[in-house]
Amino acid sequence: MASTQGAEARLKIVEQELANCLQEKKNAEAECHYYRELFDKAPFAYQSLDNNGVFREVNRAWLELLGYTEKSEVIGKPFSAFVHPKWRDRVKENFPKFKQQGTINGTEYKLVRKDGMFVDVSACGRISYDENGSVVRTHCLLQDVTDTKHAEQERKKIEEQMRHVQKLESLGVLAGGIAHDFNNLLMVILGNADLALSSLSPVSPARENILAIETAARRSAELCKQMLAYAGKGRFVVQAINLSEIVEAMPQMLEVTVSKKNVLKYNLTSNLPPVEADISQIRQVIMNLVINAAEAIGDRSGVISITTGAMECDTAYLANTYVYEHHLPEGVYCYVEVADTGCGMDDEIKARLCDPFFTTKFTGRGLGMSAVLGIARSHRGALKVYTENGRGSTIKVLFPALRAGQVQPDTVPSYAEPCFAGKTVLLVDDEETVRTVGRRMLERMGFTVIAAKDGREAVDIFRQQHDTIDCVVMDLTMPHMDGEEAFREMRRITGDVQVVLSSGYHEQEVTQRFTGKGLAGFIQKPYTMSPLRDALKTVFKKR
């Protein structure tokens, strides 16, 4: 009896201990679940790697940082697979140091997100060891510093631009001061040389020497003019001019300045908006750019391309010009661009490109690119430089286009028609220059203009605003959706859409494809103001 009671007492003890164990297990599981939930909901990105740098654990914040949804996409893969290729060597170098030191603090990496975008992170972490001192796990917290780095890069860029502008301002003040004083000295030299010549006999042996002095002094005076232009203090005779017309008048002058091995190509846009500029200074800009391009090509055969055009420039574009000054307004800028197939420039040469008297050739070359920069700045313009060492250079000089109201009325013929009053035109073309020039033409005629860069965008705009659009002027050949397909889509939206197609192909070749389809008109590229006005006048007088 006593034995049975003892057994029952022991059984109750065992049952109680078992119940206690089960409760402890439940408590542990609950606590584990709590910490797991806390871990997954933590706002910081956590990762755990094994001794070989392979992922063993990440939390939800890590997945969100890198754009993943499931841990299975990450666990078991090496950390290096998520690192930007250019940073993988840095990971290889840092991982042994990490294991040796036991901690890292603020080490930066560039990681690759699932969508292919990059994210900059700062890593802090420590290492777990076993009882033998061997590495078991590495634990790291990652902080997204992408915005911080971009902000820092932008700050450095602005500071560098400001230093560059200040340097140019200082050099400009120096150049202007020297040119002013030097001009006074040259005036004395030229004046006395002229007086001496007038007093000498025509057969005097000294006459030839004085003529040489006069020639050298006049060349020095030309150099002074360039220095004053660089300083922004040159004497300009400004008027409304067309950059394309200036280049068109210069081929003979340009061809004699370059080697016969160089081919000059011209890509000139007609009907450019006018710019307010000094013609002689613009010629000097073009001449300097072409001479530099020829020297970059050297004795080899090469191509020099001269291009003119117009484009809409926003603040972001202007901020990346060679010399950016914050007062440059957004808007339409006309440009002259000279590209060459020469040697190109490295970063060091590019940084000094517009320094006075800097040259990669022999010494004593004058101002060159610094004069180009000075002229651009004096005309409230800017300079854009594209170059790659060994692959040529392209230099674009931008000048602000005159708005319609800025041109003198007696120099601008009227192209407005009564039937255009209050009308809206949708202008569609994939070439930015064509859109810019076309907009100026249409606005000169009195239209309100909406612009689209391809057929797809044009259809979207027309679908939303077809009640207010009176006519469409559309290019035939465009990416994404060409003019023919866009015309069909617009006809589905409203059957009476008035579309004037433009193309470089012959009119008969184009219009026969649209016979019986309601095409309102055709204008052949390149077109000028008069044929465009005539085509639109025909459209609106039918209505």
Query: Based on the domain organization, do 356 and 242 belong to the same domain?
Result: yes
**pLDDT value of position 336:** 93
- Of residues 297 and 403, the one with the higher pLDDT is 297
Q: What angle do CA 369, 375, 377 make, to 5 degrees?
A: 105
Q: What percent of the chain has pLDDT over 70?
A: 72
**pLDDT value of position 167:** 63
Least confident of 120-129, 191-200, 380-389, 404-413: 404-413
Q: For residues 325-340, give the mean pLDDT.
A: 83
**pLDDT value of position 427:** 92
In a domain? residue 149: no
Backbone conformation region of residue 279, classed left if phi is above 0, alpha if psi is from -120 to 50, else beta: alpha
In a domain? residue 164: yes
Query: Based on the domain organization, do 311 and 449 belong to the same domain?
Result: no
Query: Based on the domain organization, do 283 and 371 belong to the same domain?
Result: yes
In a domain? residue 89: yes
Q: Residue 124's domain is classified under what CATH number? A: 3.30.450.20
In a domain? residue 453: yes
Query: Based on the domain organization, do 294 and 370 belong to the same domain?
Result: yes
Least confident of 308-312, 446-450, 510-514, 523-527: 510-514
Query: Based on the domain organization, do 252 and 393 belong to the same domain?
Result: yes
**pLDDT value of position 171:** 61
Q: Where are the beta strands (DSSP E) in 160-261?
A: 238-241
- Model confidence at 409, pLDDT cuts 50, 70, 90, reads very low
Query: Based on the domain organization, do 262 and 339 belong to the same domain?
Result: yes
Range of the domain at 467: 413-542
Q: What is the dihedral of CA 101, 107, 112, 114, to 10 degrees?
A: 70
Query: Based on the domain organization, do 138 and 161 belong to the same domain?
Result: no
- Give the total number of structural domains in the chain: 5
Least confident of 132-141, 402-411, 435-444, 515-524: 402-411
Query: Based on the domain organization, do 512 and 469 belong to the same domain?
Result: yes
Last residue in a domain, options 144, 176, 207: 144
- Model confidence at 353, pLDDT cuts 50, 70, 90, reads low
Query: Based on the domain organization, do 424 and 530 belong to the same domain?
Result: yes
Sign of CA pseudo-dihedral 13, 15, 18, 19: negative
Instruction: Quote the CA–CA distance of 24 and 18 in Å, as a whole number.
Output: 10
Instruction: Quote the CA–CA distance of 367 and 377 in Å, as a whole number.
Output: 15
Least confident of 120-129, 134-143, 363-372: 363-372
Least confident of 12-26, 395-409, 511-525: 12-26
Q: For residues 168-196, give the mean pLDDT.
A: 67
Q: What percent of the chain has pLDDT over 90?
A: 7
Q: For residues 92-116, give the mean pLDDT.
A: 78
Quick check: helix, strand or coil at residue 508?
A: helix
Q: Residue 519's domain is classified under what CATH number? A: 3.40.50.2300
Least confident of 35-39, 88-92, 204-208, 267-271: 35-39
Is the pLDDT at 213 greater than 60? The verdict is yes
Query: Based on the domain organization, do 35 and 49 belong to the same domain?
Result: no
Full-prediction pTM beyond 0.85? no
pLDDT digits (tens, 9 = 90+) for 56-91: 888 888 888 888 888 888 888 888 888 888 888 877
In a domain? residue 150: no
Q: Residue 166's domain is classified under what CATH number? A: 1.10.287
Query: Based on the domain organization, do 271 and 129 belong to the same domain?
Result: no
pLDDT digits (tens, 9 = 90+) for 450-486: 999 898 999 999 999 988 999 999 888 888 888 888 8
**pLDDT value of position 232:** 56
In a domain? residue 500: yes
Judge whether 495 and 462 are in contact, CB under 8 Å.
no
Query: Based on the domain organization, do 359 and 488 belong to the same domain?
Result: no
The Cβ-side half-sphere exposure at 431, using a 13 Å CA radius, reads: 15
In a domain? residue 76: yes
Is the pLDDT at 424 greater than 70? The verdict is yes
**What type of residue sits at position 28?**
A
- Of residues 209 and 166, the one with the higher pLDDT is 209
- Model confidence at 365, pLDDT cuts 50, 70, 90, reads very low
Over the Cα atoms of the chain, what is R_g? Answer: 36
